[in-house]
Each structure stands twice: as structure tokens, then as C-alpha cells.
Amino acid sequence: MRKTSTAPVIAAVDGSGGSPRALDRTRVAARRRAAPLRVVHVRQYAAWGQADVLVAGPPETEADPVLDDVRTRLAEHPDDTAVEYVALAGVPGAVLPEIGAEARLLVLGSRGRGGFAGPLLGSDGLATARDAACPAVVVPPPARDRDAAHPVRAEEEHGDRPAGPGLRVVVAGLRPDSPDTAVLAFAFAEAARRETRVRAIAAYPWPTQTWSAPGRPAPPVADQGAVEQEIRALAEGFLAPHRERHPGVRADAEVLPGHAAGHPIAASRDAGPVVVGRHRRRLPAPAPMPGSVTRAVLLHAASPVAVVPPAQPDATT
């Protein structure tokens, strides 16, 4: 095993159908980062509302069949990645964000109804994507996952190149009105590891809606070309420092009319990961919620989605 003191890449497994796909992708991510792999299974035992009982630590004597299955799976295709197995007890939606504080990356599998993502985003996955201190990657369920049958083969043998022409790019959602440098830092670092390019998509609403009082002339219609030109200039400015930091990574800024979630979702069919920020609505709610764009991408993307917290110190994740 390769020895390293680097913070681990964590695979959260639960024995469901989504766990093997998440595990395979996490092992690839750990190798790309020269980081150890930590496989975590959280046994839920605390009733909802028991905020004082979240983590009980590793079970002392009871065997964990979920982790036993993972050991068997990894043993079938051994490599030099250091692997640690951790069993915890508690509420997954509280435990997983907590352990993310000591990880470089946290990868979750989707399992549809009651899982991390499906017709409705599950509470555990929502809490993890919302609260984890490290980037959280959500692997889509088999019905949406483009590489569900052969995730490792798609990642390793084909690299970032799909069966058709072109490259399997890293897609980054870019908000020109409030750019998130952490999203771009993660996207560029990931593209450098994969030896591919970044496709930064900045969407703007069009057509704009104008309102006027009865009997008064309507406000002048905005010039779409001028709007697009201004947004493109902003986007290029946001990309510039990341291009300097990663001179070998090609980055294309695309300025497109429409909903901010629709274009990344469409692009996910030919993407490696889709990278989005963890923007939160400013609502008087008892708990923060991820923005509607992030939620929509998590629900509908055909590729893994990386949700990046807003304060990453560098691009080494």
C-alpha cells in the first residue's frame, strides 16, 4: 500500500445499489489525488429530533456486513491505494457533513426513493451537499448515470473521452452576478487531473420581462447582444486567474440565454463532473437550503455532480 499523510477521499456507502458506483468513482478520485481512501458506513439509529445523539463512534464488537462486502469488492481489483474502513452510528445527514471536515472529497451514491437523489432529493444527501466542509460529489442513480454499467472502465480506460467525438469536459456553472471562485478552482484542478478542458457556462434570463402601468409606454427592451457581451467580458475576467494557475488547461466561456440549471444539465451528457456552488437562498427558514439551481442539477444531471462549498482555500481538492 502507498503510504501518505494526505487527507482522505471518503466514499460513503450504505449497501444500496448506488454504493458500488460511488465506491468505484471514489477509488479513482483517490488515485488521481494520491490520497488514501476511507470507506465509511453510517448506521442510522437515532430517531429524528434527537440532535444530541448524532455520532456514537465505531461499533466495538458488532460486524458490519456492508463494509465486509466493500472489502471483498476492493480485493477483487487490488491496487496500491491505502484503504481505511470506518463504521459509525448516527444520523447520516448529520454524520457525513461532520466527517467531511477532515476529507479532501466526499462521494455519495444515489439510490432513488429514500436515497441521496431521485424523484425527490433525499434528506441525507441534501444535508450533506448543503453542509459538508469539503466538496461533495453525488453520483446519479442508474437510470440517469451515463456510465452506470462500467463506471471504472469509463473513467480509466476511456479517460475523459466518450465513445463519440470530442472530450468529456469538466462543466462549471458560473454566476456572473456573484462568481464563486471555489467552483472554478475545483473545476480547473479536476480538469488538470483528467487532462481535459473546462466548459464554464454562464446563463442569463432571456427574454427579459418588462412591466408598465396602463397607459404608459413600456420600458425600452434590452439589447441582447450588449447583455451577452457584458456577461462574456465578466466571465473571461473571472476565468483569467485560474487560467494563469493552470496554463495547461483550456477553458471556454459559454454565455447562453435561458435558465441557469438547464444548460449544465444538458451539458452533463458529455461531461465528467458538473461543478456547482452551494448557493443558499436568503429566506427566513429554520435551516439553510441549497439554491434552486444546485438542487435542479443534482436531480437531473446525467453525470456526477460536485457541490463545492464557498470557501475553499485553494484548488488542490
Domain boundaries, the chain: 1-153, 158-214+221-317
Per CATH, 1-153 and 158-214+221-317 having the same topology is answered yes
Residue 66 DSSP label:
H
CA gap 292, 71 in Å, rounded: 38
- Residue 232 pLDDT more than 90? yes
CB 311 within 8 A of CB 154: no
Percent over 90 (pLDDT), the chain: 42
Lowest mean pLDDT among 44-53, 170-179, 220-229: 44-53
Q: Indicate the CATH number of 158-214+221-317 among 3.40.50.12370, 3.50.50.60, 1.10.10.60, 2.160.10.10.
A: 3.40.50.12370
Please name the residues in contact with 289: beta carbons below 8 A apart, sequence gap of 6 or more: 130, 280, 281, 283, 295
User: How do residues 38-68 score in pLDDT, each as one tens digit?
Assistant: 999 998 764 444 444 444 454 444 688 999 9
Helix (H, G, I), strand (E, B) or coil at 22: helix
1-153 maps to which CATH number?
3.40.50.620
pLDDT of amino acid 264: 94
pLDDT of amino acid 83: 94
* Dihedrals phi, psi of 312, to nearest 5 degrees: -80, 135
Angle at 185 between CA 199 and CA 154, to 5 degrees: 55
CA gap 3, 86 in Å, rounded: 18
User: How do residues 7-40 score in pLDDT, each as one tens digit?
Assistant: 999 999 887 766 787 888 899 999 999 999 999 9
Q: Which helix (H) or strand (E) holds 233?
A: helix 224-245
Helix (H, G, I), strand (E, B) or coil at 200: strand
Q: How far is CA 306 from the centre of its chain?
A: 1
